[in-house]
Structure 1
Amino acid sequence: MVKIAAISGYKPYELGIFKQDHPAVTYIKKAIKEQLLALLEDGLQWVIISGQLGTELWAAEVVYELREQEYDYLQLAVITPFLEQENSWSEQNKEWYESILLEADFIDSVSRKPYEKPWQFRLKNQFFVQKSDVLILFYDAEKEGSPKYLYDTAIRYQEQQDYEIRLIQFDDLQFLVEQDQWE
Structure 2
Amino acid sequence: MNRIWITGYRSFELNVFNDNDPKIKVIKYALKNYLIDKLENSEIDWVITGANLGVEQWCSEIMMKLREEYNIRFSVIIPYTNFADRWNENNQAKFINIKNGADFFASTSNLPYSTPAQLKNYQKFIIDHTDQALMIYDPEHPGKPKYDYQLIKNTQENKDYPLDLIDFYDLQDFAEQYQENHNLRN
Common fold: TM-score over 0.5: yes
Letter in 2 for 1:178: E
CA distance in 1, matches of 2:73, 2:42: 15
- Counterparts of 1:23-102 in structure 2, within 5 Å, are 23-40=22-39, 41-68=41-68, 70-71=69-70, 73-102=71-100
CA distance in 2, matches of 1:60, 1:180: 20
Q: Percent identity?
A: 36
SS in 2 for 1:156: helix
Letter in 2 for 1:144: P
CA distance in 2, matches of 1:21, 1:170: 20
Offset of 1:182 from its aligned partner? 4.1
RMSD: 1.3
Q: What residue number does 1:21 align with?
A: 20
CA distance in 1, matches of 2:37, 2:180: 23
Provide Cα deviations, 1:79-126, integer angstroms capped at 9, x if missing partner: 101111001111110001111111111111111111011111111112
Please report the TM-score for the alignment, with normalisation by the length of structure 2.
0.92
Query: May I ask how many residue pairs the two structures share in their alignment?
Result: 180
CA distance in 2, matches of 1:178, 1:78: 30
- Which of structure 1's runs of 4+ aligned residues deviate more than 3 A? 180-183
Check whether the contact 2:26–2:178 (CA below 8 A) recurs between aligned residues.
no
Q: What residue number does 1:172 align with?
A: 170
SS in 2 for 1:83: coil
Check whether the contact 1:35–1:136 (CA below 8 A) recurs between aligned residues.
no
CA distance in 2, matches of 1:50, 1:113: 17
Unmatched 5+ stretches in structure 1: none
Match of 1:117 among 115, 118, 130: 115
Offset of 1:173 from its aligned partner? 0.9
